[in-house]
Amino acid sequence: MMQAIVLLGAPGAGKGTIAEGIKAATAFVHVSTGDMLRAAVKAGRPVGLEAKSYMEKGELVPDAVIVKIVTERLDQGGPDAQYMFDGFPRTLEQARMLDEVLVEHRGRIEHVFLLDVARDVLVDRLAGRRVCRSCGAVYHVRNIPPKKAGVCDACGGALYQRPDDTEETVLNRLEVFKRQTQSLIEYYERRGVLARINAGQKREVTQADILAILGKPTVGR
Ligand code: ADP
Ligand code: ZN
């Protein structure tokens, strides 16, 4: 039986960072549509070309494109795969598509974790975010600075600012989240699978809160 959990939250809520921690402690496979799209852009794949202009403006990529890349990805996993979706679904249309796929695989959504963070914190996190070009590690100019400015601690690669992390695009992304993703909160709340998580805490604390709900309490808490 296929199992799924979903990380839901505004840009900057920390979905990617939290996903890394959950992945390390569980058997969930991390599926990030943002990462998949960026990889497609980098590789010059047709879906990447289609997605690029939307991403740069902070708009959502059309559902048809997302459905395509997610379906491709799920077809690679076995019938008993456990998926942790990050940045997907983002629209009701995508949520319905996910439901259909899960029905086909006799799977279900176990939990949807809503990562709650105050708006000013979101803006600050995004505008100060820097990413390693080589390994994808994520830093923040003040909160998580690399030892040497502009250089990745893990691999020595160059850090860069995502083109959609500039202030103007950040504000648009938050707007788009409010407009298109908010309805998902109600959708999953009605189904009784939504768990609100305070994601304004330290990363370890947020992770532990989620792991506790997944039945994997962290030692020492
Ligand atoms: P964030 O959540 O911080 O905005 P992501 O890496 O998840 O960052 O997404 C970056 C961009 O990729 C989005 O602004 C959007 O253009 C596109 N994108 C990612 N996932 C989806 C999705 N499920 N549906 C539509 N567009 C998406
Ligand atoms: Zn690196």
Q: What does the pLDDT read at residue 221? A: 47
Q: What does the pLDDT read at residue 35? A: 93
Residue 129 is a catalytic residue:
yes
Q: What does the pLDDT read at residue 22? A: 95
Residue 23 is a catalytic residue:
no
CA 55 centroid distance within chain: 14
153 CA from centroid of ligand 1 (Å): 26
Set 15, 38, 125, 130: catalytic member: 15
Cβ(114)–Cβ(9) under 8 Å?
yes
Residue 173 is a catalytic residue:
yes
Angle between helix axes 63-76 and 46-57 (nearest 10 degrees) is 130
What ligand is nearest to the CA atom of residue 156?
2
Beta bridge partners of 126: none
Beta bridge partners of 159: 132
End-to-end CA distance of the chain: 31
Q: What does the pLDDT read at residue 219? A: 63
Q: What residues in the chain have per-residue pLDDT under 50?
A: 221
What ligand is nearest to the CA atom of residue 136?
2
Q: Which atom of ligand 1 is nearest to the CA of 176?
A: 14
Considering only CA atoms, which residue is closest to atom 18 of ligand 1? Answer: 34
Considering only CA atoms, which residue is closest to atom 2 of ligand 1? Answer: 11
* Ligand 1 pocket, residues with Cβ under 6 angstroms: 11, 33-34, 37, 54-55, 58-61, 66, 87-88, 90, 94, 164, 173
- Token output for 14: 């920390």
- Label residue 104 exposed, middle or buried (CB < 10 Å: 0-12, 13-18, 19+): exposed
- Label residue 186 exposed, middle or buried (CB < 10 Å: 0-12, 13-18, 19+): exposed
Residue 160 neighbours by CB under 8 Å, 6+ apart: 130, 131, 133
Q: What does the pLDDT read at residue 217? A: 78
d(CA 207, CA 115): 11
Bond from prior residue into 89 cis (ω within 30 degrees of 0): yes
